[in-house]
Amino acid sequence: MAEASTFQLSELLANDAQTCFSRLSQLLKPQTTVVVTCQADDRLPTTFIAQALAVATASQGYLRFDGLSSLAQAAIAVIDPDRRFAVTGATRAIAPVGDRPFQVSIAADGHVNILLLKGIGQHPHMSDTMSHEWVRGLTVLAASIDLSQVDHLNSLLVAWMLQINQGVGQGRCRLINVGRQAVAQLTQLRLNHLLNIV
């Protein structure tokens, strides 16, 4: 078995994106692993994660991250349901994909999309701080929270969306496919200026 290639995250990020992913593409082959060593990086850039995930999936190889912060570990667990990424020394896991009341995907440009599933406001996972803290493990340029399956907002869901908004960074998160009742609720609570409704 060949020894895994190892890179520092800072070394990969120092190169332009094309060079970085060309290098990963050359090394990642079916069933091989490339190790990315992180120096307790608190946040992973979503643009890097999106492209690295695409390369790993296309090559059928794996990336292993060593030295991630616990929040970055949680972010990896949320955005990688196919487990193309491994994390050395993973601490507290977030609820598995099927047990979460939301689905997260990252577009090729790093845009984070969060689809809220029906009944999310009453889901027991929502009271766990890791249900929103994972986003603090990412450097997000833009994010969308899709409310197409949500009819009514309760205080727990509103607080969760505010936490996601704060974790992403003010002005970078938008609510999409928001129903009339939810818009009315957010407006009544005067949260429409904090949460960008599209």
Per-residue pLDDT tens for 113-139?
Answer: 999 999 998 998 888 888 999 999 999
* More confident of the two residues 21 and 67: 67
Boundaries of every domain in the chain:
5-87, 97-197
Residue 1: pLDDT band (50, 70, 90) is very low
pTM above 0.85, yes or no: yes
Class (C level, CATH) for 97-197: alpha beta
pLDDT tens-digit readout, 143-170: 999 999 998 899 999 999 999 999 998 7
pLDDT of 62 reads 87
Give 165's strand partners: none
